Structure 1
Amino acid sequence: MENTNNASKFILLGLSQDQELQQVCFVLFLLFYVVIILGNLLIIITIKLSERLNSPMYFFLRYLSFVDICYSSVTAPKLIADFLVERKTISFVGCIAQLFAVHFFGCTEIFLLMVMAYDRYIAICKPLHYMTIMNKHVCSWMVVASWAGAFVHSMVQTLLTTQLPFCGPNEIDHYFCDVHPLLKLACTDTYIVNVIVVDNSGMISLSCLVVLVVSYVVILVSLKTCSSKGRLKALSICASHITVVILFFGPCIFIYMRPSITFSEDKMVTVFYTISTPMLNPLIYTLRNEVKNAMKKLWSRELLSVKSCNDAACK
């Protein structure tokens, strides 16, 4: 790849050039990243060990938490480390690898959110056939299809970018390598690539959002025939998922449903869906009573087990 490009590395301008602000951001984003890792690990471990959280919904939630950890880990560690150095560089190969990983895990999350919406639709609109339709085999294939679809999407974005010549300057006005900032550095006409990127990333985000909105409209309409207790339970189940969808899809559509035009808000919007949303997801889902009760039961059992072991050791 380096033989076809004059740029063997890129300089990332980061979120800010202010040294004092970068020190504050280092502490803040390090805290955010720790919360992302611990919060999503807590979700994964609780679902894995709890006998009560064995429904398809929590099967998908476990994978969503895993994707959140991977997704934030693509950009957050590099961002945090760059706050401590004056010259923020990344190799060409490292930049392309980061581009691939960002779109791979980001698109996987989009497809998983769609799968989770379908799961909620079946659970609420066809409850008698739920376990037959959403059996373990089907759920596993849905997860595999999400990974495969994201891989194809990411390969398209990556291959398009690597074919472009980069003659300089090599400064990326961002804190990680993404398609639009890289297209601005290419020393050739990128109109066609721009159109393909918008059709690929933007239309995936928009079309998936439309499908999600339609599915939840159908769910809300079907709730009219339910009892008040059943309606409240169904709404509580859907509320957390709708919140996550809004937080994730809104910024994605803002970034990718337009040509490579830079706005001053782009960096902060990107921070929101690459770091803030993975951090908020565990909080949103742990507000559900089933998850909270499972966590209390699981961790109280673990504490009692540790206490019993300590008492036995003392005797």
Structure 2
Amino acid sequence: MMKDFLSINKKGLITMLFALILAKSNACEHQPCLHEPLTNFGVLCDLCSCSTSSGSMGFGTLNNSNFIGFRYIYQTFESQNGVFQNSPKSKEIFNTYQLWAQIPVKNNFYLSVNLPYQDLNRTLNQTTENINGIGDANIIAWYKLPLLKKKESGETVDYNTTDQTTGHSLLFGLGVKLPTGKFEELLADNINPGFQVGTGSFDGIISTGYSYSGKKIGVNTLLSYYLKGENKNEYKFGDQISFSANVYTVVNAKKVNFMPFVGVSGDTYNKITQYGETLNDTNGNIINTSLGAEVNIKTFVFGVNFTKPIHQDLFGGNVKSKNRLTLYLNYSL
């Protein structure tokens, strides 16, 4: 039965994800659709949950909680193919094209869905290798808990009045990464095992976050744990812990809202195992800084995010993550 599930037609999955997105319109007929700032939560491994893809990249936006959109991520890595200083180095360029959405379900419950297409290139000794295809889809259910306070009259609390929001909220997420992307065992021998379209495994995602949204300033934080599964090749990427924190400000102009932000994020990876044995030099950690902005024009949101590593130790120092650029265009629902 599991085998049949793994062989689900990928076109069918795309149809399912869009059906979830379209179902949002029905949800809005029965409840108000929320558009308050949610967060720039880092809840998904945007490539394929491999060890060098960052789980702290973010899934939501600073501006709105309900949207459907397109995101592009450009990443580069440099890998040392040998134990000597003059050993040849390979350059990997990861292009990720994502359909993504955040959909209200009921009250403070939300769904995040993400379907990537991967186009990965690796150049070594003037020879270029390319793999591409649909990556691993993600679905996460979220519960947002607004922190409330009672209205006060002088120093007396009036319990007959309606609660007020404080701008502070907590978020809890539980989700799964589906093995919709292809895993190629031959590629696992690369210095950078993240050079894969998919992992071939079911992975669990557990997240908790905090956000504050004021009139002129906002803060978002998130901590996520990725519980990696073993694929049919008995290959298991190491479990992963990711964190992110962003501070943004709101600049209002005529018909346009401009929201610049700065942030810090990081990932810690456990070692990879294959056939029950732990592989050496397959763990690591990385800390990034980021700078970006969102522009909101009516129902459209354009975002840009530039990320630069400030500390990293990946695969025994054999893999170096370079700068990353993210662009996205969303339509607010």
User: TM range, normalised to the smaller chain?
Assistant: under 0.3
Q: What TM-score do you get using the length of structure 1 for normalisation?
A: 0.25
Q: What TM-score do you get using the length of structure 2 for normalisation?
A: 0.24
Greater radius of gyration (CA):
1
Larger relative contact order (Cα-Cα within 8 Å, sequence gap ≥ 6): 1
Higher share in helix: 1
Higher share in strand: 2
